[in-house]
A = this chain, B = another copy of it.
Amino acid sequence: MSAGAGNGAVNRRFVLAHRPVGLPQVDDFRLEVTPRPEPGPGQLLVRSRFISVDPGTRGRLGDRETYAQPLALGEVIQAATVGTVEVSNHPRFAVGDWVAAAFGWQDWGLSDGRGVRVIPDNGLPPSTAIGVLGIPGLTAYFGMLEVGAVKAGDQVLVTSAAGAVGSAAGQMAMIEGARVVGVAGGPTKCGWLTRELGFADAIDHRQATDMTAAVAAACPNGVDVLFDNVGNAMIDSVLPLMNRGGRIVVCGQMADYNQPQPEAVGLKNTRAFIGQRLTMRGLVAFDYYREYPQAWARMTDWIRAGRLRYREEVIDGFAALPEAFIGLFTGENLGRRVIRPD
C-alpha cells in the first residue's frame, strides 16, 4: 500500500501494528487506506492539513495505562490535528473553517462536533493551534506558571529546552522575571536558546559529562524551578542543586518512555526533599481545560509582542509520520514538528 500523494478520495491512516519494544520502529505502524468517511446528519468532515507528532504518544503505544488509555492494536495513532471543514451538517461549523481537533494520523476526520474547535482569527498560522497555542504551549503555561509557580528572581532550569514545550516554558519564566537556563542537545539548539530566545545560558547535554557540575556552573545560585521533560537521570542530577522550597515540574519523561518499567535509573538524591522542602509534581495540561481561554489570550498577546517565540518544523508528506515521530527521541527536531499531508 503506498502512502503517495493523497487525492482526497480515500483516507490514508497509520494504525498500531505492534507494541514497540524500546525505541519505536517504522514497522510498528501500518499504513491502511480506507474509504473517505461520509458525514451523516449533524456531522462534519475535516481534512487534516497539519498532523502532530508528540513524544507523549509513546506512552499510549505500550499496554500499560499511563495518563491515557493504551491504544489497541489496529487503532489509528492518536495525534492533534489542524484541518479545514470540507463538509458540514453541523450548525456550528461552516465549509472552509479552520479547526483544531485530534483526529490522529489520518487524512480525514469525522465528528459530531465534540472535541473540534474553530481556530479564532488571531493572525497566526493555523498550525500554531496544535503547537505554541496547542497542548505543547498549554503544557508549558500551566507547568511553569501553576505547577512551577515561577516568580520574579527565580533561578529556573528547563530541560529539552529547545523543544516545543521547553522553549515556551523557558520564555514564560523569563516573562515572569526569572533567570532561565536551558538544557538541549547540540550547538544549534543551544545557540538558538541563548542568542535568539534570551536564555541566560544553555547546557549541551551531548558535551556535559557531569550534568550536576554543568548545571552548578550555569546556575551558580542554585535552582528554584526545575521544569523537566527528560526523566529520572536528569532530575536526580539536579536534585542536589535545588534551593529551599524548590519545585520540580515533571512535565515529560522523554528518556524513560522507551525504557521498560520500572525505570532503569531511579531518583536517589531524595534526601533533598526534606532538607530543601522540595515539591515534585506531575502535570497533564488537559486537567486545566477550564483555564485554556485565559491561557490562549495571554499567550497570543505574548506572541504578538515578540515575547513568546516558537519554531515549527513542517515536514511534507503523510508517509513521513512514523519516521518523524521516531526522530523526536533522537533529538533531531528543533521546536514543534508537524506533518503536512500531501
Contacts and interface: CB of A to CB of B under 8 A. Distances in A.
Interface of A: 59, 65-67, 231-232, 236, 250-253, 256, 261-284, 287
Contacts of A262: 236, 268-271
Nearest to A248: B280
8 contacts: A67-B274, A250-B273, A253-B270, A253-B274, A265-B266, A266-B266, A267-B267, A280-B280
A250 to B, nearest CB: 4
Nearest to A264: B268
A280 B271 contact: no
In the A-B complex, the 7 residue pairs with the smallest Cβ-Cβ separation, listed nearest first, are A266-B266, A273-B282, A262-B268, A274-B282, A267-B267, A266-B268, A250-B273
A286 to B, nearest CB: 10
A85 to B, nearest CB: 33
Contacts of A263: 268-271
Given A266-B232, A266-B266, A271 B284 contact: no
Contacts of A67: 274-277
A236 B263 CA distance: 11
A249 B252 CA distance: 22
B279 A66 contact: no
A264 to B, nearest CB: 8
Contact of A270 (B65, B232, B269, B271): B232
A232 B262 CA distance: 14
A206 to B, nearest CB: 24
A66 B281 contact: no
Nearest to A68: B275
A282 B287 contact: no
B282 A256 contact: no
